Amino acid sequence: MGNKKWYQLDEEEVVKEWKSDPVKGLTKKEAEKRLIRYGPNKLQEGEEISPLKLLLAQFQDFMVLVLLGATLISGLMGEYVDAIAIIAIVLINAILGFIQEYRAEQSLAALKELSAPQAMVIRDGEMMKIPASQVVPGDLVRLESGDRVAADLRLLDVQGVKMEESALTGESVPVEKVKATIPDEDLPLGDQGNMAFMGTLVVQGTGRGIVVATGMETEMGKIAGLLHHAEETKTPLQYRLEQMGKVLVWLAIALTILVMGLGIWNGNDPQEMFLTGVSLAVAAIPEGLPTIVTIVLALGVQRMLKKNAIVRKLPSVETLGCTTVICTDKTGTLTQNKMTVTKIFANGEEWSVSGSGYEPRGEFYLGNTKKDPSVIPSLKNFLEVGVLCNNATLYERKEGKGRTGDWSIHGDPTEGALLVLAAKAGIWKRDLENVWVKEWEIPFDSERKRMSVLFRNREGKRILVVKGAVEELLERSSSVILHDRILPFERVRKEEWLRKNEDMAREGLRVLAIAYKEMEEGRMEKGKGEEWEEGLTCLGLAGMIDPPREEVKDSIRISQQAGMKVVMITGDHRLTAEAIGKQLGILPENGLTVTESELYNMSDEEFGEKVEEIYVYARVSPSHKLKIVQALQAKGHVVAMTGDGVNDAPAIKAADIGISMGMSGTEVAKEASDLILTDDHFSSIEAAVEEGRGIYDNIRKFIRFLLASNVGEILVMLFAMMMALPTPLLPLQILWVNLVTDGLPALALGLDKPEGDMMKEPPRNPKENIFARGLGWKIISRGTLIGLSTLGAFLLALNQGATLLTAQTIAFSTLVMAQLIHVFDCRSDRSIFHRNPLENKALVAAVLSSILLLVGVIYWGPAQRIFDTVSLTYTDWLWILLFAAVPSFLSGVLHLFFVGVKKGRK
């Protein structure tokens, strides 16, 4: 791409250099060729972990190394069969661990791709959103407030563009951009005012530019060390489990040393007891926990993706289940984001308009009389100004050469509604743009609540067209058009307009005022733009409705049922916000609605006292969202906050769960968020919370299963040694149990569907210990019962005259079967009888495969010789199943008994 100083070249030279078109951009075919030629628009990333390194890492675990050391000792002592069997088990375990971790890495890599930044480009004259990685040199890129620049651009057109370039230059003050050529030599990046650089941020205005560098050729690429790459961090849960694992390691080692010592004291062979101790330590330590947690999180994230939620940060999955308050925007999230103007107040008269959606078909009615607005000068003027003060595009989707009749808009839905309104009267944007040329624009800003555009026609006449919040425009208007006459906008008339505004708002309509001003001839300084907005002539009010999404009311009800408060934050008029809030069930009878002015006049203490009673915030700008988040958090709430704009970013980042909009959201909002909604729907938030709760519960399920099983394995050996009994389990049998029961069944629990009444439970306390809600007691009690049942089956066999090998085989089988029955018990916090065991097909398959492997070890000759097992009779199996079922059956019966007692007391 060379080392040209693009800022020194004029627009035509840059376009010619890249063989592009300043209006239509590149052709799609040319863009494909350039993508092959220049490669993806990406910065080089750190070295990926190779599959080989991932496989070798499986042998670096402390306990695996201990086991390999024991294998070496066994070989030196002549126990070759044992040594080979242990190595085989270690290899199988390593392969299973490798497969699990490799899949987790692939899942997380795929999610990174999905959450990659987007860019708006113009190709073949069509505007389209593409992944930033597909941007190529010569592409024509459109920039809007909130966009993260995808590549280095030479700006061709700017309208009030200011950029924050601190990621590149270190300068935090936004820089105003120009399109004119800069002749100076060797300018630093911060002074190249007609350039936009990869990774910088558009904080204001709109513009277009041509790509002059991509990937590592960009200025950001050249000094890639300045970029902040997100580091892979462990989630709080993973960290807690890692710490727990360290404690369990030493506890297991201490218990196994105790078992070894007791065994040798009782006269058992020291070599056998050494191998038994090592095997018991390996089996007792849940070394697979971190891997399974990662896999379950990754699988859960994939399921969330199917429900239109992209998780950017894994810790947010855990936090989702703790959410107590959801603060949500209205437009597009709770509503369909298809604004339709249904009422007009213009020329001193009230009009109603038929039609819905974006199809430009409808009629204008004055009372019950149908009228043609294009023949009424003041109304026609009102519609034309609404079209000119507009950056949206109305278009009909096409298939091949035919028309589909399916109309859509590109841009802001509010602006689209004004285009559709005018089109119903035969007024089209393309026709007006042939007469009026845009000279300057002050974009809509959520703080200013208005937008102004300066136009000039061929005769040199200039007009300023303005639209925005009713209060804002009335304050700046000195005249009004009534009955086709321009009259002073006196206080009495303004009060009448404010009443009309309130009447429309009570009907749930969002109301915009439209005004204009004829500008004086002569030179006008662009920097005085805001001063031009004084002395406007008001044309009328447009009342539009954005109907609620059909599924949202149910999602809000489910969220409230789950103990979460839903709060609506909107820029709409108070009455409009209250109407929608009541319609959706957000605003209860005694709930408060607060406006920005009321919020501004409250002290932090006053706001803190009222914040839990407020359900709707109306006429609130994004800058106050942060105050709302902090006040709720001060009350101990876990807050989820939605947003899409640049000004939303601080609140999104401060919230416990920051949620950005995938369709309408700016790149800044997305980068600040933990969760991106690909469809911008509130229902996706509710689904994500439910999935987050399910993931956390599944993690608790397999922790319960793994640890209870491991406790059972240790206790059966400990009790036997304390009672001076023969060894009930041999070293290889212990390792085999660890391999077969701790692997697939534990992982299959991570695929379990949430229990049906999960969203009827209150949110989990974020400080809750992983063993809270009786989990620790369940692990110890069930592990003890498994150990006692196994020992009971072993003693019964010996008392009935069975050989030691037969008794050990029965103990081995009882332990395996008890754990495989227990895995179904772990699916519910209540009892094994609470859920249909066949619901989780993956778990059923995992358990059946484990049973088949058990049968193979007991009845297949070569396996019998390796594992010292013998064939069992039908009677043996009856006793095995009876003893194996005791722990789960007993706990289930006790649960039903206590539930019955509680109901009886009520």
Residue type, 798: L
Task: Look up the CATH number of the domain holding residue 831.
Answer: 1.20.1110.10
Does the residue 90 lie in any domain?
no
**Count of structural domains, the chain:** 4
Does the residue 230 lie in any domain?
no
Does the residue 232 lie in any domain?
no
Q: Which of these, 164, 139, 163, lies nearest to 151 by C-alpha position?
A: 139
Does the residue 584 lie in any domain?
yes
Are 749 and 870 within one domain?
yes
- Tell me how far CA of residue 622 lies from CA of 53, 625, 651, in angstroms: 47, 5, 8
Are 665 and 595 within one domain?
yes
For 846-863, what is each residue's pLDDT tens digit? Answer: 899 999 999 999 999 998
Are 382 and 433 within one domain?
yes
3 state SS of 102: helix
Does the residue 110 lie in any domain?
no
| Segments in the chain below pLDDT 50 | 107-108, 111, 114-115, 225-233, 523, 526-527, 899, 901-902
- Class of residue 395 by CB neighbours under 10 A (exposed 0-12, middle 13-18, buried 19+): middle
Given 3-state DSSP classes, what are the helix, strand and coil percentages for the chain, each rounded to the nearest 5?
50, 20, 30
State the pLDDT at residue 517: 94
- Domain endpoint, select from 179, 210, 225: 225
Query: What's 494-545 look like in SS3?
Result: HHHHHHHHHHHHHCCCEEEEEEEEECCCCCCCHHHHHHHCCCEEEEEEEEEE
Query: What DSSP character marks residue 756?
Result: T
Are 349 and 441 within one domain?
yes
Does the residue 710 lie in any domain?
yes
Residue length, the chain?
906
State the pLDDT at residue 225: 45
- Domain endpoint, select from 518, 545, 572: 545
State the pLDDT at residue 138: 94
Measured distance CA(775)–CA(779) in Å, rounded: 6
Are 807 and 879 within one domain?
yes
Q: Which of these, 741, 771, 753, lies nearest to 828 by C-alpha position?
A: 753
Are 556 and 578 within one domain?
yes
Does the residue 55 lie in any domain?
no
- Domain endpoint, select from 183, 210, 225: 225
Task: Look up the CATH number of the domain holding residue 637.
Answer: 3.40.50.1000
Does the residue 1 lie in any domain?
no
For 385-428, what is each residue's pLDDT tens digit? Answer: 999 999 888 888 766 555 667 788 877 888 999 999 999 999 99
State the pLDDT at residue 229: 40
Q: What is the set of active-site residues? A: 329
Are 638 and 509 within one domain?
no
Residue with tokens 């701790």: 742
Are 353 and 330 within one domain?
no
The answer to whether 766 and 322 are in contact (CB under 8 A) is yes
Q: What angle (nearest 5°) sits at the alpha carbon of residue 663, between those of residues 662 and 665?
A: 65
Are 533 and 585 within one domain?
no
Task: Look up the CATH number of the domain holding residue 443.
Answer: 3.40.1110.10
For residue 390, what are the domain limits? 342-545
State the pLDDT at residue 478: 94
3 state SS of 585: coil
State the pLDDT at residue 230: 37
Are 718 and 660 within one domain?
no
Task: Look up the CATH number of the domain holding residue 130.
Answer: 2.70.150.10
Are 779 and 899 within one domain?
yes
Are 676 and 565 within one domain?
yes
